[in-house]
Amino acid sequence: MTRKLFGTDGIRGTANSEPMTPEVALRVAIAVGESFKNGAHKHLVVIGKDTRLSGYMLEPALTAGFITMGMDVVLVGPLPTPAVAMLTRSLRADLGVVISASHNPYTDNGIKLFDRDGYKLSDEFEAAVEEAVEKGPTARALPSELGRAKRLEDAGGRYIEFVKQSFPRGRRLDGLRIVVDCAQGAAYRVAPTVFWELGAEVFSIGTQPDGTNINRDCGATSPQQMREEVLARRADLGVALDGDGDRLIIADEKGTILDGDQVIALIATRLLKSGKLSGGAAVATVMSNGGLERFLAREGIGLHRTAVGDRYVVERMRAEGCNLGGEQSGHIILGDHATTGDGLIAALQVLAAIVETGKKASETCRLFTPLPQRLKSVRAAGEGLIEAPAVEGAVAEAKARLGKSGRVVIRNSGTEPLIRVMAEGEEEALVAEAVERICAALKAAGDAGRGGERASLRVRAAE
């Protein structure tokens, strides 16, 4: 079955347009709820969200869908995605739902689903849900069997304590000055509290969400404001989360911004030295820098690569018995603590290294020099553009010029109508040229496709 609703990270789209409408949310909840009709057990679903205005539209629609199928609902309000995954396990719920479009602007929203163990649901389950959405429900709950909804008032406090437990016992952040950028998103209440309760002096930004400013010029996708605040406050570390709190980008005391690859390198070496690196390897995606792979190899640590998407990283971690994985974009999964990316838990592991070594972040957090790499996005203008002959020719030429140590990755985004083009190699000029030529070929193919559509329309109009 061709997937129409689900992408690499749940369902996502423009708010109040298909598929991000209350009608679709209702049908999805009904379809999911029907799959849990397996006996007298009263099923429970936990629903959390970020700070987008459209969350007020989707939350009641999902709640109604689950209730009509006889499921009880616990609403936890704005909380990071990993908090909902944790609460799903803690409350012994059957399902966790997060209403969020992660790093996207407020005009988008999304629906992510977690199983009772806190892991994102499989492609097979999502395909079954799509099929059930198309068919409609076979039966709804009887009036006496309808579900109930309630709010969990201490959800944030539970998550704060959970995150703090990941910090080494007996250690504190006393004396450290930390800037935390909450991206006007789901972590705006819990993130500053975590660092403050562990003893740090905290300078918070991105903690005034208004429903429309999530991720706007702030957070993990726009860390410049965080960097400037680090320098202005003479802070020891800057921490930037994304809108749903599952990504982390850091800045050292000099204002140098470090991505998820550097965080993976740091945590991997710490786990290896303490004898706690499971599977002798880390897991990353095809987008992670080749410099990370070379560094880990020198340290005697393997690297397994996956398709883009933290769900695929987690799947490979479980298959290989690894307890560390992540993405260059900042998703860091620490399997000993969480089932999905958690920006706060990852930040505490970075801070643990700073505390334990007594060194500055600039000496602790940058462990390798990345290979020249360039990433550019092209707005998708038609179907099958990646397979267009001119595009395939540009990719082949780029690979040949970059040589054996070079890489080219071209893919459709699973969260936005974009095509991502990444090139990597030893020479920065060649890398930049490769990306520009491929992007030019994509744009030309898209323009040609639109011209064909216009010509076809003119022919039909003439007929």
Token representation of residue 51: 């700070």
Alpha helices in 10-144 (DSSP H): 22-34, 55-68, 81-90, 123-135
**Residues paired with residue 281 on neighbouring β-strands, in sequence order:** 302
Identify residue 154 by its one-letter amino acid code. D
**DSSP for 180-208?**
EE-TTSTTTTHHHHHHHHTT-EEEEES--
Task: Give the integer Cα–Cα distance in Å for 399 and 409.
Answer: 10
Task: Give the integer Cα–Cα distance in Å for 96 and 115.
Answer: 6
Task: Give the integer Cα–Cα distance in Å for 271 and 372.
Answer: 27
Single out the catalytic residue among 54, 100, 102, 222: 102
Question: CA nearest 369: which of 313, 302, 293?
Answer: 293
17 is known as an active-site residue: no
Cβ burial, residue 81 (10 Å; 0-12/13-18/19+): buried
Three-class secondary structure of residue 455 per DSSP: helix
Which residues carry out catalysis? 102
